[in-house]
Amino acid sequence: MARADSVEAHRTEAAVDPAVTEAPPRPARGGFAERAEAGAPRSDASAIRATAIIPARGGSLGLPGKNIARVGGVPLVARAVRAALAAQRIDRVVVTTDDRDIAAAARAAGAEVIDRPVELAGGEASSESALLHALDALDPVEPAEPVALEQASPEHASLEQASPDSLTAAQHPVTVFIQATSPFIHPADLDTAIGRVASGERDVVFAAAATHVFLWRDDAGSGTAVGVNHDSARRPRRQEREPEYRETGAFYVFSTDGFRAAQHRFFGRIGIQPVEADHAIEIDDLADLERAQALAAHVDRGIAASAGRSVVLDRERPCIDVDALVTDFDGVHTDDTVMVDQLGRESVRVSRSDGHGIARLRKAGLPVLILSAEENPVVGRRAEKLGVECVQGVGEKGAVLRDWAEARSIRLDRIAYLGNDRGDLPALELVGWPVAVPDAAPEALAAARHVLTQPGGHGAVRELADLILAARESGASSAVPTPRTVRDPE
Average pLDDT over residues 133-146: 63
* Residues 92 and 52: beta-carbon distance below 8 Å: yes
What tens digit of pLDDT does each residue of 26-38 get?
333 345 555 445 4
Banded pLDDT at 1 (limits 50, 70, 90): very low
For a pLDDT cut of 90, what percent of the chain falls above it?
34
412, pLDDT greater than 50: yes
Which pLDDT value is given to residue 475?
63
Cα distance between residue 150 and residue 157, in whole Å: 9
What's the topology of domain 324-474? Rossmann fold (3.40.50)
Which residues of the chain form CATH 3.90.550.10? 4-307
Phi, psi dihedral angles at 56 (to 5 degrees): -150, 95
Banded pLDDT at 324 (limits 50, 70, 90): very high
Average pLDDT over residues 394-404: 91
Cβ contacts of 256 within 8 Å, gap of 6 or more: 51, 135, 169, 172, 173, 174, 175
Residue 193: C-alpha distances to residues 53, 176, 179 (Å): 15, 9, 15
What tens digit of pLDDT does each residue of 444-456 get?
888 888 888 889 9
Which residues of the chain form CATH 3.40.50.1000? 324-474
479, pLDDT greater than 60: no
Task: Give the chain's count of helices (H) and strands (E).
Answer: 14, 20
Which pLDDT value is given to residue 84?
92
Average pLDDT over residues 38-52: 65
Average pLDDT over residues 451-478: 84
322, pLDDT greater than 50: yes
For a pLDDT cut of 70, what percent of the chain falls above it?
78
Cβ contacts of 330 within 8 Å, gap of 6 or more: 336, 348, 372, 373, 374, 420, 456
Query: For 4-307, which CATH class?
Result: alpha beta
Which pLDDT value is given to residue 32?
53
* Residues 111 and 104: beta-carbon distance below 8 Å: no
Which pLDDT value is given to residue 442?
83
Q: What is the mean pLDDT of the chain?
A: 78
Cα distance between residue 285 and residue 198, in whole Å: 35
Banded pLDDT at 198 (limits 50, 70, 90): very high
What tens digit of pLDDT does each residue of 278-320 get?
888 889 889 988 888 888 877 877 777 666 544 454 445 677 8
Banded pLDDT at 463 (limits 50, 70, 90): very high
What tens digit of pLDDT does each residue of 330-363 get?
999 988 777 777 777 777 788 889 999 999 999 9
> Is this structure's pTM higher than 0.85?
no
What tens digit of pLDDT does each residue of 416-441 get?
999 999 999 999 988 989 999 988 88
Average pLDDT over residues 158-185: 66
Cα distance between residue 449 and residue 313, in whole Å: 8
Which pLDDT value is given to residue 402?
92
Banded pLDDT at 327 (limits 50, 70, 90): very high
Which pLDDT value is given to residue 23?
31
Phi, psi dihedral angles at 195 (to 5 degrees): -60, -40
476, pLDDT greater than 60: no
Phi, psi dihedral angles at 137 (to 5 degrees): -70, -30
What tens digit of pLDDT does each residue of 219-270 get?
877 788 888 888 777 887 777 778 888 899 999 999 999 999 999 999 999 9
Cα distance between residue 89 and residue 54, in whole Å: 16
What tens digit of pLDDT does each residue of 214-230 get?
888 888 777 888 888 88
> How many Cα neighbours within 13 Å face the side chain of 31?
29
9, pLDDT greater than 70: no
Banded pLDDT at 118 (limits 50, 70, 90): confident
